Structure 1
Amino acid sequence: MVDDDVREPESWPIARWLAGVAGLTAVGSLAGVSVARSLARRASVDDPYAGEDFELLHDDRSVVVTTDDGVPLAVRECGPPDAPLTVVFAHGFCLRMAAFHFQRARLAEQWGPQVRMVFYDQRGHGLSGDASPDTFTVAQLGRDLESVLAVLAPRGPVVLVGHSMGGMTVLAHARQFPQRYPTRIVGAALISSAAEGVSRSPLGEILRNPALEAARFAVRYAPGLVHRGRGVARSIIGPVLRAASYGDESISPSVVAFSEKMMHDTPVHTLVGFLHALEVHDETEGLMALAKIPTLIACGDRDLLTPLEYSQEMALALPKSELVIAEGAGHLVQLEQPELIDDALVRLVERATPSKLVALTRRLKERARNHG
């Protein structure tokens, strides 16, 4: 029996953290080998995006939206405020709004004044504010999305686009605000995502490792220790994310460097905190609301984090869905095969919007082809 007055020695949190590091290193090293080999091959690849300005979104109109629990979210928008349609993008785990760089670059030109695009950084990511680890849940992300919609799109039709954890955000919003579908939300895209916990993916193997609890303990009770050990933490989980990002070794080195910088810039406690959310979330109920509207389900067939079967299962549950499979692509399919995803988003908007917008979008496509 332990006396209630006995306290854990101050060194215990350190011991737990180091135990977590030791346990997870073995898991992460397997992915690290794959990354090292891939990067070696990529070094000789011609880089079509050398010199690309991946910070294009920083020049767009800036807005700060405060969530229901007081967290400031960084938001960017492009296109006329009174455009007939608003498309809102929610990014994934350990990324930021710039993960939709190629969609912002092409679709703004293609849709022109007919569509306003809204991008934002999820809580704890990018330029958005930090929050308590207790709020790092998929359900809260769904409420954050509602806060963005209330400020940026209080009226008019909206199409939601979510990648990875952003797709889970869309599902969480649909579950909690089903009355918005289809009266306000007229279309949705779930890219490289899952309706429930990712326990069946390689990421799930890491989440089941008991040593990960040490990292979670440090996040809650020894944040200073987490900060000092950030290099070690990234060496554990980082290789897994990088190995799963791309399926084709010929991917642009500049794109690889861009995505890895986003991951590296994500605070460690955000990374560890949301890992648990990815493990336990269940937003399958949100599929009922999405079944009422046209949807796009997209995934790379080499995605290790949200394998193809997750997308296939969601597509089967959504009668108005289009399933797009990117051959040879990994988890960051919107960066790896942007044209495939952009084309699919154009089709989604055509299916989800009034006929006059559809007609104009088609004319814009024809004009682009004629000038190509």
Structure 2
Amino acid sequence: MTVCTVPHAAIAARSVQQTILTRDGVSLAVYASGPADAAHTVVLLHGLCLGAGSWQVIEDELREQLGEWVRIIRYDHRGHGGSGRAPMHTYRVEQLADDLTDVLVALRVRGALTVAGHSLGGMAAMTYCARPVEQQPVRPRGLVLVATAAGKLCERGLGRLLATPAPDFLSALVAHTPAYAAEHAVRALARPVCELVGLSRGCARAERRVLCSMCSAALSTTALSTAAGFLPHLRRFDQSAGLGNIRATTTILSGDVDTVTPTAHAQEMAKAIPSARHRQFRGAGHMLLHERPAQIAEEIASIVLRRTASSGVGA
């Protein structure tokens, strides 16, 4: 593991950037703040074509609510942001859960752990939490799932696009077209696609603005091969059978006008995960991290404080 001790200003003034290698040799850009021997660690996992920076405002809010005694870790998934690219066949949710394992081991996380994931990051978080204890170097005590799903992505909302030939077309484009030409073609299509998403029935105005800006940013920082690798896999992703194995205190957060992962996904997860709590935000869409940052941080902080009180550990 290579450690950089210079704060990464683009992520957060208090964060220290580190680079770790996964078990299959992919470099991950990791940003950590707070004491290394903290009694409680929070790990924040971002969505597809986003990055660790999508949680920046949430981390600031968590610091306001929890202080400096909690360790907060964020990182760019493989193929995203400052992390290295990987073979397309490794762009799978199960692999992201493996990467989470590698991060926890490399950073020597001890004590209580809460994992929060948005969209694709939520899928990775629930997959890790559903694994047998012996496959978890640290067993999470808290889990926060934000605008995500455990499966059936092809059956609802914009996820129905996964059932079309589009993901296979994208994969073929990447596989058989020179990288520059493929990237240029997709960038040319990005604007009308963003407008189509923004005009989707039920899409909140705030979500429309944020989604379009995030789409533009993602195209400049995320390789086309990343999306081309993940999308066909998401068509088949299904963690519903494992949800009953989750023992972490779980909160599920959704927006009632989310057109990417509609509320029905959250309702099904809440029924399947033991003692899970579901909170829905009116007028909010898929980009909850940007639409309701204070409330998301409040929910994460609530779980941290609840688990800390129950374990008798003081701040």
1:358, CA displacement in angstroms?
A: 7.6
Summarize the alignment of residues 143-154 of structure 1 with structure 2, pairs less than 5 Å apart: 143-154=98-109
1:281, CA displacement in angstroms?
A: 0.7
Summarize the alignment of residues 1-372 of structure 1 with structure 2, pairs less than 5 Å apart: 55-57=10-12, 60-179=15-134, 184-224=139-179, 225-235=181-191, 237-239=193-195, 247-249=203-205, 259-265=214-220, 266-290=222-246, 292-355=247-310, 360=315
What are the superposed Cα offsets for residues 150-208 of structure 1, whole Å, 9 maximum, x if unpaired?
Answer: 11243211110100000100122123444467973111111101111411223333222
Partners of 1:66 and 1:137 lie apart in 2 by: 17
Higher radius of gyration, 1 or 2? 1
Structure 1: which amino acid aligns with 2:102?
S
Match of 1:229, SS state, is helix
1:80, CA displacement in angstroms?
A: 1.4
Match of 2:240, SS state, is coil
Q: Across the two proteins, how many residue pairs are aligned to each other?
A: 304
Shift in alpha-carbon separation, 1:141–1:250, aligned structure 2, 3 A: closer
Shift in alpha-carbon separation, 1:197–1:335, aligned structure 2, 3 A: same
Partners of 1:228 and 1:182 lie apart in 2 by: 42
Structure 1: which amino acid aligns with 2:24?
D
Shift in alpha-carbon separation, 1:205–1:256, aligned structure 2, 3 A: closer
Superposition misfits of 4+ residues, deviation over 6 angstroms: 180-183, 356-359
More deviation, 307-316/198-207: 198-207
1:316, CA displacement in angstroms?
A: 0.9
Partners of 1:357 and 1:56 lie apart in 2 by: 32
1:210, CA displacement in angstroms?
A: 2.3
Match of 1:206, SS state, is helix
Structure 1: which amino acid aligns with 2:258?
D
Shift in alpha-carbon separation, 1:317–1:128, aligned structure 2, 3 A: same
Shift in alpha-carbon separation, 1:272–1:165, aligned structure 2, 3 A: same
1:272, CA displacement in angstroms?
A: 2.3
Partners of 2:136 and 2:29 lie apart in 1 by: 25
Shift in alpha-carbon separation, 1:182–1:229, aligned structure 2, 3 A: closer
Match of 2:160, SS state, is helix
1:307, CA displacement in angstroms?
A: 0.5
1:221, CA displacement in angstroms?
A: 3.1
8 A contact 1:293–1:320 mirrored in 2: no
What are the superposed Cα offsets for residues 292-312 of structure 1, whole Å, 9 maximum, x if unpaired?
Answer: 221110010111111001001
What are the superposed Cα offsets for residues 70-121 of structure 1, whole Å, 9 maximum, x if unpaired?
Answer: 1101000111112210000110011001111221111123211321100000
Structure 1: which amino acid aligns with 2:32?
E
More deviation, 262-271/351-360: 351-360
Partners of 2:137 and 2:170 lie apart in 1 by: 41
More deviation, 153-162/139-148: 153-162
1:356, CA displacement in angstroms?
A: 6.9
Shift in alpha-carbon separation, 1:75–1:136, aligned structure 2, 3 A: same
Structure (1/2) with the larger helix percentage: 1
Partners of 1:132 and 1:202 lie apart in 2 by: 29
Query: What TM-score comes out, normalization by structure 2 length?
Result: 0.86
8 A contact 1:181–1:289 mirrored in 2: no
Q: Which blocks of at least 5 consecutive residues in structure 2 are unaligned?
A: 1-8
8 A contact 1:199–1:205 mirrored in 2: yes
8 A contact 1:203–1:240 mirrored in 2: no
Identical positions, percent? 32
